[in-house]
């Protein structure tokens, strides 16, 4: 009788121990899974941080010429008078009364001592050797867009690039521009040199005329 009780107690104890052992294994698996999940989240956070930092530092510093060009076209903001517009056009061999957005771009480069571009014809600002992005070749957001780059918009009625200007800044797919022969955003003055905002999707081409600037080579990755 005593042996039976001992055997029964031993059996119950063994069952309890097995249950405890199973519970411990389950707890270990859950704990391990939780640790793996926390490790995954940390790794993911580190990876995202590295990518963001890499993107931030991938933008090259601006050259002296680029900063000078930016200061030059910004100094023209607000001009719409005949004397100033005539100066833009005269640099490209035209008289007052012609369209002058491309002449304005050419004039600003001339203030840096550059002999080109020197054209009143918008499409001439985008030769293959100077293009750094074209939405007909790569219809995705350009990766490197810097102040002083020239953008062009396709005008359907003309069947070509029909309006141009300077990139002043670029963020989240939006260009802040400085452009000539454009309407006043406040609609209080005639066409002149004004700052505007344009989506990258409206841009046909980007060119970079700062030949000495190594950034041009980096922009080839936009294609």
DSSP states along 68-86: HHHHHHHHTTT---HHHHH
Residue 72 shares a structural domain with residue 158: yes
Residue 35 shares a structural domain with residue 75: no
- Indicate the residue among 30, 58, 86 that finishes a domain: 58
CA 84 to CA 72: how far, in whole Å?
A: 14
Over 70: is that where the pLDDT of 52 sits? no
Q: Is 151 helix (H, G, I), strand (E, B) or coil?
A: strand
Minimal CA–CA distance to 222: which of 144, 170, 149? 144
DSSP 52: H
Q: Which pLDDT band, with edges at 50, 70 and 90, does 212 fall under? A: low
Give the list of residues 6+ apart from residue 147 with CB closer than 8 angstroms, or none.
Answer: 62, 66, 67, 69, 70, 166, 167, 168, 169
Here the CATH number for the domain that contains residue 215 is 3.90.1720
Range of the domain at 38: 1-58
Residue 86 shares a structural domain with residue 44: no
% of the chain residues with pLDDT over 70: 68
Partners of residue 131 on adjacent β-strands: 207
Q: Total structural domains in the chain? A: 2
pLDDT digit string, tens, across residues 184-206: 999 889 999 999 999 999 999 99
CA 41 to CA 203: how far, in whole Å?
A: 39
> Is 77 within 8 Å of 195 (Cβ atoms)?
yes
Residue 30 shares a structural domain with residue 81: no
H helix runs in 95-183, sequence order:
101-110
Residue 151 shares a structural domain with residue 210: yes
Measuring CA to CA, how many Å separate 158 from each of 32, 131, 167? Answer: 67, 21, 23
Residue 26 shares a structural domain with residue 54: yes
The Cα angle at residue 207 between residues 126 and 79, in degrees rounded to 5: 95
CA 29 to CA 85: how far, in whole Å?
A: 76
Residue 14 shares a structural domain with residue 105: no
Q: Which of 9-18, 125-134, 154-163, 189-198 has the lowest mean pLDDT?
A: 9-18
CA 202 to CA 153: how far, in whole Å?
A: 7
- Indicate the residue among 58, 77, 107 that finishes a domain: 58
Q: Average pLDDT over the chain, rounded to whole?
A: 82
The two tokens of residue 34 are: 């939780």
- Indicate the residue among 21, 38, 58 that finishes a domain: 58
Residue 1 shares a structural domain with residue 80: no
Partners of residue 169 on adjacent β-strands: 176
Residue 45 shares a structural domain with residue 69: no
Residue 168 shares a structural domain with residue 186: yes
- Greater confidence (20 vs 123) lies with 123
Residue 105 shares a structural domain with residue 141: yes
Residue 90 shares a structural domain with residue 191: yes
Q: Phi, psi at residue 211, to the nearest 5°?
A: -60, -35
Q: What is the pLDDT of residue 93?
A: 98
Q: Is 153 helix (H, G, I), strand (E, B) or coil?
A: strand
pLDDT digit string, tens, across residues 22-47: 776 676 676 666 666 665 666 665 45
């Amino acid at each position: 009788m005593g042996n039976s009780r001992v055997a029964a107690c031993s059996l119950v104890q063994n069952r309890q121990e097995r249950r405890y052992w199973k519970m411990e294994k389950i707890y270990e698996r859950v704990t391990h899974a939780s640790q793996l999940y926390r490790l995954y989240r940390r790794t993911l956070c580190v990876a995202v941080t590295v990518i963001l930092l890499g993107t931030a530092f991938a933008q090259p510093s601006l050259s002296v010429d680029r900063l000078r060009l930016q200061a030059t076209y910004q100094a023209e903001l607000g001009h719409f008078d005949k004397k100033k517009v005539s100066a833009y056009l005269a640099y490209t061999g035209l008289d007052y009364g012609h369209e002058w957005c491309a002449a304005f771009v050419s004039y600003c480069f001339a203030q840096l001592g550059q002999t080109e571009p020197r054209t009143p014809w918008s499409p001439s600002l985008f030769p293959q050797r100077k293009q750094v992005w074209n939405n007909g070749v790569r219809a995705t957001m350009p990766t490197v867009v810097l102040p002083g780059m020239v953008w062009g918009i396709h005008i359907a009625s003309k069947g070509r690039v029909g309006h141009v200007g300077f990139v002043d800044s670029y963020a989240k797919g939006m260009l802040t521009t400085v452009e000539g022969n454009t309407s006043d955003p406040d609609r209080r003055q005639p066409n002149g040199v004004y700052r505007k905002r344009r989506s990258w999707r409206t841009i046909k081409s980007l060119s970079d005329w700062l030949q000495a600037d190594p950034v041009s080579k980096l922009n080839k990755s936009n294609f």
